[in-house]
Structure 1
């Protein structure tokens, strides 16, 4: 399990220059060590968002000091959403929102809700302008995949908590689980992606690769055919289907799909036998 990241790795993940990284570091109250934990990375990403919203470093530091005192012992700063709302810095913990500078809670004063405004559960949740949004978590997960697959899985799971219909996150999480040989979880992710993006060929293809890996060739062939019914130009589905037909002695079908794959594929490209990555911009509903 990857537990630490270097300064260079964190700066690349945050997509900041050296000077900007040092500003994020000063604002976050973190020491300038050579290694950072995953939780440090989350805090630095939040401070970067606040700096991008023109919140001064001194104010961010003061706000974080106050927030540490305000949160209960079992809750950490990286477990809440911190974002800029105009000139205000607001914290959202899933139940209530407040200004950490003053400790003042923000309520919904709509007349018909006045009788319930003292209940924190009635507070309207904020738009996560500068907190970790589903897109933020997805982007972070994509950056973490090579360096720390376990943290990448966690980040995709966080993205799905905020956007359960994100088929790309389901697909990529499934691929990571498959690479970790957690096949039941991988299958659940792919089938969730199919629910939210049934016309996308990619989750069908990934499910086919998984079915092959766990020794279910019939299910794999069906999944590949389903992928091709959505995208006839999916060369990898043709190629994998050709190999399955060849293994079963169906030479004519094998030749047909192999020729289709060769026609669609560039000569220098090898056929991957593992699920590809889904982009965030792909179908999600």
Structure 2
């Protein structure tokens, strides 16, 4: 079924790629992960991937591969001298985890099916949601991974992905020296959502962190024009106007902030 000879299977078991259990007649019982490892190892070696890289890639993949089939499917393949993993339309290096096997797994009525052809187009909106959720999960543990996931969600989504724009921009602005990148994200988002007060507020914060106080003031004012009850915008604008020596503006917006929060 796998196209792997008994000799190759025995060799891969002996090398520790897979650890099957034994049935009542001493036959091998392979898990889903074992099957993936067997087919993948064979294809990677056929593509002349060095054994060391094969071992590193498959060891990491075995640990991370879920017991249940992922919704977007899995492909493992050789890309040059590297081992690439693909879920849906997303691809990354199996060893380093960097976003970038030809083995693919798909789910059909609960069965495991091996496909030799390219995958059929998936629901891009669903894939985008999966990447966004991954970004949310990585946000506290892997900032680089979270950034890649948010960007992937934006790229895949057939419609402008508002939440991904907001969270990616906020993530970048929280990181040292990335406010300029955050500003680019907010600018693109505002092309799609020009009347969104929160995006103007976030863009104002990015401008302020970059020292562009005039642009920050303009963005805060645009935010308040769209949503006069945006308390945080009143507060931030009051503090900004104090820096710029506008005491009258400071008092006016600080009083508005106090009315809205008491």
TM-score under structure 2 length normalisation: 0.61
In 2: Cα distance, 1:102 partner to 1:154 partner: 28
Query: How much is the aligned-residue C-alpha RMSD, in angstroms?
Result: 3.5
Rg: which structure is higher? 2
Deviation for aligned residue 1:78: 3.2
Structure 1 runs (4+) greater than 6 angstroms displaced = 36-40
Provide Cα deviations, 1:57-97, integer angstroms capped at 9, x if missing partner. xxxxxx97xx65xx3445633354565355676xxxxxxxx
- Match among 85, 107, 122 for residue 84 of structure 1: 107
| Aligned match for 2:123, one of 116, 123, 127 | 127
Residues 37 and 227 of structure 1: is their aligned pair in 2 closer, same or farther, counting only changes over 3 Å? farther
1:230 is aligned to 2:226 = yes
Q: Which residue of 1 aligns with 2:66?
A: 44
| Alignment size in residue pairs | 191
The answer for the alignment partner of 2:200 in structure 1 is: 204
Deviation digits for residues 98-142 of structure 1, max 9, x if unmatched?
xx5253x3xxxxxxxxxxxxxx7xx9623359xx71111111111
Counterpart of 1:101? 114
- Equivalent position to 2:138, from 144, 159, 183: 144
Q: Kindly tell me: are residues 147 and 87 of structure 1, through their superposed partners in 2, closer, same or farther at Cα, counting changes over 3 Å?
A: closer
Change (3 A) 1:246 1:263: same
The residue correspondences of 1:167-246 to structure 2 (distance < 5 A) are 167-180=162-175, 181-246=177-242
Distance in 1 separating the partners of 2:169 and 2:160:
14
Q: Which structure has more RCO (C-alpha within 8 Å, separation ≥ 6)?
A: 1
Cα 1:215–1:265, aligned 2, differ >3 Å: closer, same or farther? same
What do residues 180-204 of structure 1 show as CA deviations (whole Å, max 9, x unaligned)?
A: 2223211110101111111111111
Distance 1:49 1:229 in 2: 43
8 Å contact 2:180–2:206 — kept in the other structure? no
Contact map agreement 1:242 1:258 (CA 8 A) in 2: yes
In structure 2, C-alpha distance between the alignment counterparts of 1:160 and 1:88, rounded to whole Å: 31
Are 2:153 and 1:153 aligned?
Answer: no
Q: Distance in 1 between the 2:230 and 2:128 partners?
A: 29
Is 2:252 the partner of 1:248? no
Q: Which has the higher strand share?
A: 2
The CA deviation string for residues 239-259 of structure 1, in whole angstroms up to 9 with x for no partner, is: 011112222232222111111
| Residues 139 and 80 of structure 1: CA distance in aligned 2, closer, same or farther (over 3 Å) | closer
Structure 1 residues 72-81 or 242-251, which shifts more? 72-81
User: Are residues 249 and 102 of structure 1, via their aligned partners in 2, closer, same or farther at CA, if it must alter by over 3 Å?
Assistant: closer
Contact 1:156–1:169 (CA under 8 A) maintained in structure 2: yes
Q: Is the 8 A contact 1:83 1:128 kept in 2?
A: no
The aligned residue for residue 258 of structure 1 is 254
